[in-house]
């Protein structure tokens, strides 16, 4: 394959027209092309008066001699895995989020039949439980936005962040998502996303494939204990005892009861830094104008942003998990608490944009005598938010202008909150730790200098956002990925402290599965 870069497009063209323009510019005749595909598509909006799409196209020419004049690229191929596993026991995967599902995919694709244990329900039933909570405030502790098939990412924007250096693992994840129903454009867009509407279907398709290939997916099966003997995993306990020598621990960042049990059993756990804050909402049209201006005639997707501000107190204030055209979601995993997150459909066609605005929390901020103290720090803040909202699952909300002035909002302006099941006007300064509140105030104003309108008085803050990442790391060996003190236990994904989103969790699931296959 050859690669043609920097194809700048300033008009509304189909992909076929972009291809024709690229080969014309490079003096390649259409009949010379064997096949082609888009490798990369991004938007350059640095100059509002000159916004354009930037394409990279890969193609194969019939004339190999002519190909030599161009940049050569290797076609992607996931490496073949050497399967050495001879164990009589089925590997057990705890958790059916991205890490767990992709670990299971790799195992069944290589002839090993795992057992997935998921405390929540299958995605079809889980959707009903989430809707019941949103509409009627009837909360199900085992089936909600955090727990259930697909994990927390199922009710999100479905971002597939690969960082600045996509690798063979992330490419594998993208291709599997497309195979199970994701739009093909995620293979080449600079900021791929699937949307919650697509994710719900894809998760079901992956489950059915795993079962068809001999794997088991058991729902409503919460792991309550582990049998460890002479430093080796022997069994897991749920509604029954399952003997095994390999456990992929893909429990997610909200499995607090499992963190407690592992700590009680002596599994090495370390506290880690995380972040807390609020959700902020703007009108999506205002974000579009701030990012794109009003001069371009290009048909552009709704705009997003990713912002960072370094405060004078040494803290960092940053946006996280921005959801264009989305809504703020009730994401608690326990009764009598408030947790927020964001969600968008693939079309991103909602009125509001929302994002977490977070402040970094260090181990020194919360550590007392246990590596689980960060978890208790989060929990305390979530209970305070529940009480501030009226102790009825309403979330506390406040206009940005009133937050900056430290007063309760009296009315909403042009931005209306999207959080369901309901909201209560409050002063978020009353529950946020002082270092969080002060950094947020300085940060919101500072971020406004990077994105005009970010500190709009009418923007809405909803509290609290506490689950951006796990507060612990379940330590593992660098090469084998085993727990450092329990052989056969593979801490995996976001809950174990080795991932931060759908893509990185899925990649970590793949890596852990490969270790199980090679052991």
Least Cα distance to 345 among 178, 199, 191, 143 occurs for 199
Both tokens of 78, joined, read 């996931």
- Whether the upstream peptide bond of residue 123 has omega within 30° of 0, thus cis, is no
Both tokens of 118, joined, read 């998921």
Rounded to 5 degrees, φ, ψ at 138 are -95, 105
In this prediction, residue 74 carries a pLDDT of 86
Q: What is the pLDDT of residues 246-273, one digit of tens each?
A: 999 999 999 999 999 999 999 999 999 9
Task: Report d(CA 439, CA 316) in Å as an integer.
Answer: 8
pLDDT tens, per residue, the chain with 519 residues: 899 999 999 999 999 999 999 999 999 999 999 999 999 999 999 999 999 999 999 999 988 777 778 899 988 889 999 999 999 999 999 999 999 999 999 999 999 999 999 999 999 999 999 999 999 999 999 999 999 999 999 999 999 987 545 689 999 999 999 999 999 999 999 999 999 999 999 999 999 999 999 999 999 999 999 999 999 999 999 999 999 999 999 999 999 999 999 999 999 999 999 999 999 999 999 999 999 999 999 999 999 999 999 999 999 999 999 999 999 999 999 999 999 999 999 999 999 999 999 999 999 999 999 999 999 999 999 999 999 999 999 999 999 999 999 999 999 999 999 999 999 999 999 999 999 999 999 999 999 999 999 999 999 999 999 999 999 999 999 999 999 999 999 999 999 999 999 999 999 999 999 999 998
> Do 290 and 358 form a contact (C-beta atoms < 8 A)?
no
Beta strands in 18-81 (DSSP E): 33-44, 52-61
Pairing of strands 423-425, 395-399: parallel
Both tokens of 112, joined, read 């090993």
Task: Report d(CA 159, CA 155) in Å as an integer.
Answer: 11
Tell me the C-alpha to C-alpha distance, in Å, between residue 308 and each of 48, 182, 357, 442, 451: 21, 30, 9, 12, 11
Least Cα distance to 415 among 456, 452, 360 occurs for 456
End-to-end CA, the chain: 36
Both tokens of 276, joined, read 């807390």
Domain residue ranges in the chain: 2-67, 92-268+474-518, 274-465
Both tokens of 503, joined, read 């893509």
Chain centroid, CA 408 distance in Å: 32
Q: What is the pLDDT of residues 182-230, one digit of tens each?
A: 999 999 999 999 999 999 999 999 999 999 999 999 999 999 999 999 9
pTM of the model: 0.95
Both tokens of 336, joined, read 């009598």
User: Strand, coil or helix: what is 323?
Assistant: strand
> Do 327 and 418 form a contact (C-beta atoms < 8 A)?
yes
Task: Report d(CA 216, CA 498) in Å as an integer.
Answer: 25
> Do 53 and 8 form a contact (C-beta atoms < 8 A)?
yes
Residue 27: left if φ>0, alpha if ψ -120 to 50, beta else—which one?
Answer: left
CB atoms within 10 A of CB 364: 8
Task: Report d(CA 469, CA 247) in Å as an integer.
Answer: 22
Q: Is 211 exposed, middle or buried (0-12, 13-18, 19+ CB in 10 A)?
A: middle
- With residues binned 3-state (H G I as helix, E B as strand, rest as coil), the percentages for the chain, rounded to 5, are 30, 25, 45
* Greatest distance between any 2 Cα atoms in the chain: 73
User: Strand, coil or helix: what is 209?
Assistant: helix
For the sheet containing 33-44, what is the strand order?
2-9, 52-61, 33-44
CB atoms within 10 A of CB 17: 12
CATH 3.30.70.2700 fits 2-67, yes or no: yes
Whose tokens are 């909570």? That residue is 133
Both tokens of 26, joined, read 């490079």
In this prediction, residue 39 carries a pLDDT of 95
Whose tokens are 């960092």? That residue is 316
Rounded to 5 degrees, φ, ψ at 410 are -95, -30
> Do 255 and 226 form a contact (C-beta atoms < 8 A)?
no
Q: What angle do CA 189, 190, 195 make, to 5 degrees?
A: 65
CATH 3.30.70.960 fits 92-268+474-518, yes or no: no
Task: Report d(CA 131, CA 76) in Å as an integer.
Answer: 41
């Amino acid at each position: 394959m050859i690669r043609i870069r920097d194809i700048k497009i300033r008009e509304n063209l189909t992909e076929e027209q972009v291809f024709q323009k690229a080969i014309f510019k490079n003096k390649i005749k259409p009949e010379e092309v064997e096949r082609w595909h888009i490798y990369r598509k991004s938007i350059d909006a640095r100059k509002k008066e000159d916004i354009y799409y930037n394409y990279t196209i890969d193609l194969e020419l019939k004339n190999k001699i002519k190909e030599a004049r161009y940049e050569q690229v290797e076609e992607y191929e996931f490496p073949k895995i050497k399967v050495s596993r001879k164990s009589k026991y089925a590997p057990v995967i705890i958790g059916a989020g991205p890490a767990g599902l992709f670990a299971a995919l790799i195992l069944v694709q290589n002839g090993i039949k795992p057992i997935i244990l998921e405390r929540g329900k299958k995605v079809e039933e889980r959707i009903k439980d989430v809707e019941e909570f949103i509409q009627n405030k009837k909360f199900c502790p085992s089936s909600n936005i955090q727990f259930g098939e697909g994990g927390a990412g199922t009710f999100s924007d479905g971002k597939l962040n690969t960082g600045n250096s996509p690798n063979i693992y992330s490419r594998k994840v993208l291709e599997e998502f497309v195979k199970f129903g994701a739009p093909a454009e995620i293979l080449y867009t600079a900021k791929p996303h699937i949307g919650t509407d697509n994710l719900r279907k894809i998760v079901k398709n992956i489950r059915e494939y795993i079962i068809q290939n001999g794997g088991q997916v058991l729902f409503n099966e919460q792991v309550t204990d582990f049998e460890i003997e002479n430093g080796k995993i022997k069994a897991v306990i749920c509604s029954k005892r399952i003997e095994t020598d390999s456990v992929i621990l893909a429990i997610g960042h909200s499995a607090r009861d499992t963190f407690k049990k592992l700590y009680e059993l002596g599994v090495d756990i370390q506290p880690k830094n995380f972040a807390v804050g609020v959700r902020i909402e703007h009108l999506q049209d205002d974000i579009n104008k701030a990012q794109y201006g009003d001069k371009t005639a290009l048909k552009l997707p709704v705009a997003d942003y990713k912002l960072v501000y370094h405060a004078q107190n040494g803290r960092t204030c940053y946006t996280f998990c921005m959801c264009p055209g989305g809504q703020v979601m009730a994401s608690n995993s326990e009764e009598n608490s408030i947790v927020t997150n964001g969600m968008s459909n693939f079309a991103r066609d909602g009125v509001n944009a929302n994002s977490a605005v977070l402040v970094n929390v260090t181990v020194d901020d919360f550590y007392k005598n246990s590596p689980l103290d960060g978890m208790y720090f989060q929990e305390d803040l979530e209970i305070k938010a529940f009480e501030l909202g009226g102790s009825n699952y309403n979330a506390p909300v406040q206009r940005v202008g009133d937050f900056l002035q430290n007063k309760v909002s009296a009315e909403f302006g042009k931005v209306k909150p999207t959080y369901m099941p309901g909201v209560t006007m409050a002063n978020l300064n009353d529950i946020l730790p002082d270092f969080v509140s002060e950094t947020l105030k300085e940060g919101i104003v500072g971020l406004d200098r990077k994105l005009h309108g970010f500190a709009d008085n009418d923007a809405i803050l909803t509290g609290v956002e506490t689950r951006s990442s796990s507060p612990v790391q379940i330590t593992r060996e660098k090469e084998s990925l085993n727990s450092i003190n329990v052989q056969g236990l593979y801490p995996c994904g976001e809950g174990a402290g080795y991932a931060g989103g759908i893509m990185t969790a899925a990649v970590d699931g793949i890596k852990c599965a490969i270790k199980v296959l090679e052991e």
